[in-house]
Structure 1
Amino acid sequence: MNKFLLAFIFIISSSITSETNEFIERQGQVTFFSYTSVENIQATNNQVLSLFNPETQEIAVSILMRAFVFKKSLMREHFNESYIESDLYPKATFSGKIIGFDATSEDEQTKIIKGDFTLKNITKPVEIKAKITKNADGYIISGTLDVLINDYSINVPPLLSPNISKKIEVSFNFKYAPYEK
């Protein structure tokens, strides 16, 4: 999996045109939540890699699926083996652009990020409402995305179908620092 991350970093860093204005988040946080009548399902991943270029407004994210932590080990097992099939699809990715972002502004900005989210080798266009804050070290970008399980071929056994929400809320929080090549 480290080969995937290195390839991802190389591809993204070579596709971002600015030489001095790149930012990286190596331990970004992605959390997902699913309401169910039996038991809510929640997991957090603190090993998310993301690159951001304020000048071009481009952002890219790579999420290792096995890095999600659940409160119950059985939930993690079902997630990785049955629903996401992490052995076949080890990561999810997002690449997109922040629409109307002003890199010179010191104020907090609420913007739409348009891009492509890929999960289980299925890519769908998405729009994410995000909050962007510039600080002394870099940027903080956070937001929420609703993922429909049918859009990404997440198969739920009929017996469990009433217990699994059709929509999963995915939240993210990335604290970017300058990227040193």
Structure 2
Amino acid sequence: MKTTHILLLCFFLTNFLQGQERFLTKQGYTSFFSSSPVEDIKADNNQVLSIIDTSTGAIAISILMKSFQFEKSLMQEHFNENYVESDTYPKAKFKGKIPNINGLSNSEETVTITGDLTIHGVTKNIKTQAKIIKTQDNISLKGSFPVNVADYNIEIPAVVINNIAKTIEVTFELDHKPYKK
């Protein structure tokens, strides 16, 4: 009987400690910006899912492509139907690593995040700098990185080729809270 109580206690402590190692956000923010001589295009997305495991430094991000909001509804329609083909490729995903996350203090620091970014069914390795603030109750990440549209097999029709930059700037702000099961 005593052994059973000890095993149960160990089980609950393990689950409790594991929960404190993971930080989650369901309302992260990302945007992209395309600047060309013809026009600037910006889209925002406030429904970004991200989880960080502080025991390994692993980070995973999932972005629903149809959640990007544009200033003009026609741009949003073309983005989803013609460029990223959201019905076929509904999400963009990132799986990567934040090195030495447990060695970070409560001050703002710059880290290099590396990992695989998947857009439009194509996966490419990326590396970016991000500002991070890690406390016991929060992990905030903020940064940006360039994405070459052609690298992800996103075809731009000749009619609007000058309207969309070949390289777009992706920006992110993720405010993670401890994950509780």
TM-score between both structures, scaled by the size of structure 1: 0.86
Q: Higher helix proportion, which one?
A: 2
Following superposition, the deviation at residue 138 of structure 1 comes to 0.8
Following superposition, the deviation at residue 86 of structure 1 comes to 0.3
Following superposition, the deviation at residue 128 of structure 1 comes to 1.1
Root-mean-square deviation (CA, aligned residues, Å) is 1.5
The 3 A distance-change label for structure 1 pair 104 and 147 is closer
**Identity, % of aligned positions:** 46
The 3 A distance-change label for structure 1 pair 19 and 136 is closer
Gaps of 5+ in 1: 1-16
- What is the match of residue 69 of structure 2? 69
For residues 16-58 of structure 1, what are the alpha-carbon distances to aligned partners after superposition, in whole Å with 9 as ceiling and x for unaligned? x944311001100001000021220000000000001223111
Separation of aligned partners in 1, 2:179 and 2:20: 8
Q: How does 1:167-178 map to 2 (within 5 A)?
A: 167-178=167-178
Separation of aligned partners in 2, 1:104 and 1:155: 41
Separation of aligned partners in 2, 1:122 and 1:114: 17
Gaps of 5+ in 2: 1-16
Following superposition, the deviation at residue 67 of structure 1 comes to 0.2
Equivalent pair of 1:58/1:95 in contact (CA under 8 Å): yes
Secondary structure of the 2:75 match is helix
Following superposition, the deviation at residue 76 of structure 1 comes to 0.2
For residues 102-142 of structure 1, what are the alpha-carbon distances to aligned partners after superposition, in whole Å with 9 as ceiling and x for unaligned? 44522211011010000011000000111101246311111
Q: Match of 1:65, as an amino acid?
A: M
Equivalent pair of 1:54/1:103 in contact (CA under 8 Å): no
- What is the match of residue 132 of structure 2? 132
Q: How many equivalent residue pairs?
A: 165
